[in-house]
Amino acid sequence: MFYMLDAAEPVSEVVEQVSDIIETAGDKAGNFVTGLPLLTTKLLMAAAAIFIGAIVIKLGRRMIESLMRARGQKVMRNPHQMDTLRSLITSLFNYVMYFIILTVVLSLFGVNVASILAVAGVGGVAIAFGAQTLVQDVISGLFIWGEGSITVGDIVDINGLQGEVESIAVRTTVIRNYNGNVYTIPNGDIRTITNMSRGYKRAIVDIRCPYEESQERMVQIITEEMAKAGEEIEGLTAAPEVMSILSFDTDAVVVRVAAQCPVGENWRIERDIRTRVKARFDREGIVMPHYQKPPVA
């Protein structure tokens, strides 16, 4: 009987521990069920805050667009510059609203936002070192707008990427190329800008002529065709200039044609010039130099 009592003692301790665990779990479950309505209320309030914030952002964007449009008509500035300013202000407004919405949601769940800001202030130096790129992007964006080197709608070449400027935000510049590809470039990374939307453009076409033909005859034919092009191609105010022989290639003599044209029309005019030259060469029986694949042995 003595040994049976000793063996039963560990069993009773296990039973007591299990009972304590079950009781603790029951208390926690009861507290969760009791606090469930409060949690649901906070979630609903957070959802409402996000929804209202989204509405405010949408209305704010419309208001900024309306104000900038009215301001642009009043001061008679370049509409592209006003679009650029609108893009910058909208981007800044979005960042401010996102911060406010995040602050409200954290406050609803009992997070002390003031203490977070205090900690952020204490660690501001460390954060500044990590945010150097962000600060550089923002400052560069302000300089881009202030200097007016590019504006929304310009056709540009930035760091080797070519396209039309769709937006200039506080941190990034977005351009879309002819194929529809969108490039997002951090403003701090912009080093070289080639703006192809200022004043005028030149349509330039290099025509490859065969060595077998008289070069005087080739230049004369191209000059005659460009005289017609100056009268018939829309966007040209004068006949394209035939710059005679530009270079000697291995299999062709290159003659360059250049024409001053409106911004954005140079690609269309270049295509028209090539089409006219090829058609005229065909009528004259001139075979343009081309690569011939060697026969298979």
For residue 224, the model assigns a pLDDT of 92
Sheet containing 161-168: which strands, arranged edge to edge?
Answer: 182-186, 172-176, 161-168, 155-158, 193-195
Residue 236 in tokens: 């040209």
Identify any residues that bridge with 158 across adjacent strands, giving them in sequence order.
161, 193
Q: Is 237 exposed, middle or buried (0-12, 13-18, 19+ CB in 10 A)?
A: exposed
Structural domains of the chain sorted by starting position, each given as residue range(s) with its CATH number in brackets: 22-122 (1.10.287.1260), 135-195 (2.30.30.60), 201-284 (3.30.70.100)
255, 209 in Cβ contact below 8 A? yes
For residue 25, the model assigns a pLDDT of 59
What are the angstrom distances between the C-alpha of 176 and each of 130, 153, 162? 30, 10, 8
For residue 221, the model assigns a pLDDT of 92
Length of the chain: 297
228, 283 in Cβ contact below 8 A? no
* Cα–Cα distance, 160 to 61 (Å, whole number): 32
For residue 156, the model assigns a pLDDT of 87
For residue 222, the model assigns a pLDDT of 92
Residue 120 in tokens: 């952020």
Residue 279 in tokens: 């058609």
For residue 272, the model assigns a pLDDT of 93
For residue 207, the model assigns a pLDDT of 92
- Each residue's pLDDT, cut to its tens digit, for the chain (297 residues) gives 444 444 445 556 655 665 666 666 556 655 555 555 666 777 888 888 888 888 888 888 888 877 777 766 555 455 566 676 777 778 778 878 888 888 888 877 777 766 666 655 555 555 555 556 767 777 777 777 777 778 888 888 888 888 888 888 778 889 998 888 899 998 888 888 888 777 677 888 999 999 888 888 899 999 999 999 988 888 888 889 898 788 888 889 999 999 888 877 888 999 999 999 999 999 999 888 876 655 555
152, 87 in Cβ contact below 8 A? yes
For residue 120, the model assigns a pLDDT of 55
Identify any residues that bridge with 253 across adjacent strands, giving them in sequence order.
209, 248
For residue 4, the model assigns a pLDDT of 46
60, 97 in Cβ contact below 8 A? yes
Identify any residues that bridge with 208 across adjacent strands, giving them in sequence order.
254
For residue 282, the model assigns a pLDDT of 92
* Cα–Cα distance, 170 to 144 (Å, whole number): 10
Residue 60 in tokens: 């704010």
Helix (H) or strand (E) holding 112: none
